[in-house]
């Protein structure tokens, strides 16, 4: 699934950046949001590609960004993987400042954010590399400002929608909620375990299994990451429950309640296998039941690897971030949509086939049916998304002029982030070559 996630993220990220380079009529806010989302997907794709290669070569797994063998700590793959993850987090911390709408003065925020993102990416990744990543995971602290911004926007416009009966406000609250799910979706499924304070037991098992002795700041970063996801889903669930009782539920409400239910079931399942977890640091490590592993394959793992790229794709199309009206762009958008849907469908089918005795002929027939359905309905789905696409602030008294003052060009953004990508690859290669 990791390799599929790598291909999906890279494909969607590169297409987003290509379409942004072709479109010239978008507002600076939409363009900045698209640039950050596109490069987040590119760096996540590189991260997953390196992770998959690392696991294929060593047969080992990655938990909290760490590998379970000291011999791999200074390899090119492990170093480059963790540096790519750091850069993607640096970009994530700036995305809430430009989407749903920009919070900083337009005269200087474009240059400032690009410069800060590049400097933070280079500085933090370099510091982590020379310190052998002993503080890895502490970088999760950069997600706190964006978390506060998105939660504040969601609460502000949800209350305004209900109190003032302004339907336009709903677009902004949903946009903030979707970004929260995209950034913290995985940890949202651990919310009950975090509330019950049993995630610490799982962390101790991972530390023993991976032969890793985390520093205090690294442990703090992991718990902060889990806490942000738990707080996000609980706040979203409270807001959607209140809105549903006053106005009525929506598709976004259903999505939030599904994630909340998944986290509740996961917390109960985590509590039921605590004896197995604690056996790892009391006697010997016992394996988790097959059903337990399958549950997380279909929920947390699928959410972060498969459904998060689709969520970003929906945000890009539905909120009019990229130019999709021209013929060539429309054609390219349709291709990327149907490819992503087919990839996700085939992977889900393979997951089902991993525990159900479905013959290969039957699975091939099911996949053919799915292909036929997508070919028949794909055009309607894409056309509906494109035709109903509106800027998140359309109809609201929020200015989104196409002012180029203080802005950075699309090519400049690409060159800067491309240089960061080359930098982390070269530095990782040098680090492993010197045997440091």
Q: Which distant-in-sequence residues (6+ apart) come within 8 Å of 299 by Cβ?
A: 189, 262, 266
**pLDDT number for residue 9:** 86
Read off the pLDDT of each residue in 188-203 and give the average, rounded to a whole number.
88
Higher pLDDT, 355 or 313: 313
Read off the pLDDT of each residue in 266-286 and give the average, rounded to a whole number.
82
Read off the pLDDT of each residue in 74-86 and give the average, rounded to a whole number.
84
Take residue 71 and report the two structure tokens written for it. Answer: 């011999």
**123 confidence band (pLDDT: 50, 70, 90):** very high
Of the listed ranges 41-45, 63-67, 189-193, 428-432, the one predicted with least confidence: 63-67
Distances (CA, A) of 149 to 101, 104, 220, 227: 11, 12, 21, 16
71 vs 238: CA distance, rounded Å: 46
**73 confidence band (pLDDT: 50, 70, 90):** low
**43 confidence band (pLDDT: 50, 70, 90):** very high
Maximal CA-CA distance, the chain: 65
Task: Inform me whether the pLDDT recorded for 256 exceeds 90.
Answer: yes
Q: Which distant-in-sequence residues (6+ apart) come within 8 Å of 10 by Cβ?
A: 41, 42, 45, 46, 49
**pLDDT number for residue 119:** 92
Task: Inform me whether the pLDDT recorded for 202 exceeds 80.
Answer: yes
Residue with token string 């982390």: 424
Which among 8, 17, 6, 11 is positioned nearest to 39, based on CA atoms?
Answer: 17
Read off the pLDDT of each residue in 237-250 and give the average, rounded to a whole number.
89
**pLDDT number for residue 164:** 78
pTM of the shown model: 0.86
Q: What is the CA radius of gyration of the chain?
A: 22
**pLDDT number for residue 142:** 92
- 3-class secondary-structure state, position 67: strand
**151 confidence band (pLDDT: 50, 70, 90):** very high
User: Residue 10, Cβ neighbours under 10 Å: how many?
Assistant: 19
Computed from CA positions of residues 213, 217, 221, 227, in that sequence, does the dihedral angle turn out positive or negative?
Answer: positive
CB 34 within 8 A of CB 321: yes
Of the listed ranges 158-172, 226-240, 264-278, the one predicted with least confidence: 158-172
Which among 144, 160, 152 is positioned nearest to 176, based on CA atoms?
Answer: 152
User: Residue 360, Cβ neighbours under 10 Å: how many?
Assistant: 8
Task: Inform me whether the pLDDT recorded for 420 exceeds 90.
Answer: yes
Task: Inform me whether the pLDDT recorded for 357 exceeds 70.
Answer: no
Of the listed ranges 67-76, 89-98, 379-388, the one predicted with least confidence: 67-76
Which phi and psi angles does 402 have, rounded to 5°?
A: -85, 60
18 vs 38: CA distance, rounded Å: 9
């Amino acid at each position: 699934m990791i390799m599929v996630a790598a291909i999906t993220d890279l494909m969607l990220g590169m297409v987003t950046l290509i379409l942004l380079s072709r479109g010239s009529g978008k507002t600076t806010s939409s363009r900045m949001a698209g640039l950050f989302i596109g490069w987040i997907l590119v760096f996540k794709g590189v991260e997953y590609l390196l992770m998959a290669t690392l696991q294929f070569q060593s047969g080992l797994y990655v938990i909290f960004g760490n590998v379970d063998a000291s011999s791999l700590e200074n390899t090119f793959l492990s170093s480059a993987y963790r540096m790519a993850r750091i850069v993607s987090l640096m970009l994530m911390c700036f995305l809430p400042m430009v989407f749903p709408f920009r919070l900083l003065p337009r005269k200087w925020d474009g240059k400032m954010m690009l410069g800060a993102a590049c400097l933070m990416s280079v500085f933090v990744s370099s510091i982590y590399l020379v310190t052998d990543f002993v503080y890895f995971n502490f970088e999760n602290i950069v997600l706190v400002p964006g978390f506060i911004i998105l939660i504040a926007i969601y609460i502000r416009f949800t209350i305004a929608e209900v109190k003032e009966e302004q339907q336009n406000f709903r677009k902004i609250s949903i946009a903030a909620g979707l970004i929260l799910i995209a950034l913290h979706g995985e940890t949202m499924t651990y919310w009950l375990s975090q509330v019950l304070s049993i995630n610490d037991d799982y962390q101790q098992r991972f530390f023993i299994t991976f032969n890793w002795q985390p520093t205090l700041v690294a442990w703090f970063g992991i718990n902060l990451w889990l806490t942000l996801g738990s707080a996000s889903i609980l706040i979203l669930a409270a807001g959607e429950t209140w809105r549903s009782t006053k106005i009525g539920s929506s598709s976004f409400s259903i999505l939030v309640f599904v994630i909340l239910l998944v986290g509740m079931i996961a917390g109960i399942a985590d509590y039921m296998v605590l004896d197995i977890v604690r056996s790892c640091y009391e006697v010997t490590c016992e394996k988790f039941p097959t059903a337990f592993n399958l549950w997380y394959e279909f929920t947390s793992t699928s959410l972060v690897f498969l459904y998060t790229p689709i969520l970003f794709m929906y945000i890009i199309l539905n909120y009019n971030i990229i130019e999709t009206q021209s013929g060539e762009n429309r054609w390219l958008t349709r291709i990327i949509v149907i490819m992503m849907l087919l990839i996700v469908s085939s992977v889900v089918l393979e997951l089902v086939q991993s525990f159900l005795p479905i013959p290969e002929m039957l699975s091939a027939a099911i996949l053919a049916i799915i292909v036929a359905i997508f070919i028949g309905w794909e055009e309607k789905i894409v056309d509906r998304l494109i035709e109903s696409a509106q800027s998140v602030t359309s109809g609201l008294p929020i200015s989104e002029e196409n002012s180029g003052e203080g802005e950075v060009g699309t090519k400049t953004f690409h060159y800067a982030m491309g240089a960061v990508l080359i930098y982390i690859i070269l530095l990782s290669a040098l680090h492993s070559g010197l045997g440091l």
